[in-house]
Structure 1
């Protein structure tokens, strides 16, 4: 048995990445992962969340659920009740996020089934070619005798 060719998935130590290009790439990859984690946390725990990120180039990236206004108001005034309109907007945003998450899960399932179906079809084609019937008319008498024995 051969040795492993890769070291597999490993954790990256939390220290500043000195190479600027590597830093940009790492930020882009980690940002999307952070958004996915935040979205999952919202779905699982039914919470409000706000994330503000600044890229190495200074560009800002925001993730708020349900809305930035609702989160900022709640942060500045934690003891006040939300207005009726803010609660409606929040409920609508939660509903929309739930719908989009359900749609994403559906597409992921469809993608999984499609890839499995494609693999199955490839196997069927391979087996079809391997065990394909041939016309008996093209065989001479000796070859036909071999099949009969």
Structure 2
């Protein structure tokens, strides 16, 4: 079926307009998501419906993206172009942010492994203990779930093997009964001296 070209004007029918809005909005949000994933782009999308309902998408903080947009607009308004130094400064900020994040993760890892705990207060140690207990609880729950799943699989295998065993036993019983019939075939057996032949 060939689609006709849609005329670009406001849809007068309220129901049709709402349906079109929902479909197009979904498509637009999907495209924004795909653009952010496939091209590693920073994407922010803000939509207000005719009734004032807000729909938004952002692959990072939407506020940060808006601030970045405003900075870019201000720079362009003054007539400044982004220079390599600006890019370098931005990269330095990103690198500092990443190093701080890595340091925090390393500290958290050391803390959970029990290293360098001498400088911690009782409250901080209690917090670490609580985190470890929560982690252990999650690990145990996952392990229990895996055990249950394995037991379920083994029970299913046991049922299948029991069915196969019953079939094999049936075949074996049939074979045994067939052999008995062969052995029990009646044979006319005569024991003694042969009878003399009579001549006429």
TM-score (norm 1): 0.46
Q: Which has the larger radius of gyration?
A: 2
Query: Which one has a larger percent helix, Structure 1 or Structure 2?
Result: 2
Q: Which is bigger in relative contact order (C-alpha 8 A, separation at least 6)?
A: 1
TM-score (norm 2): 0.36
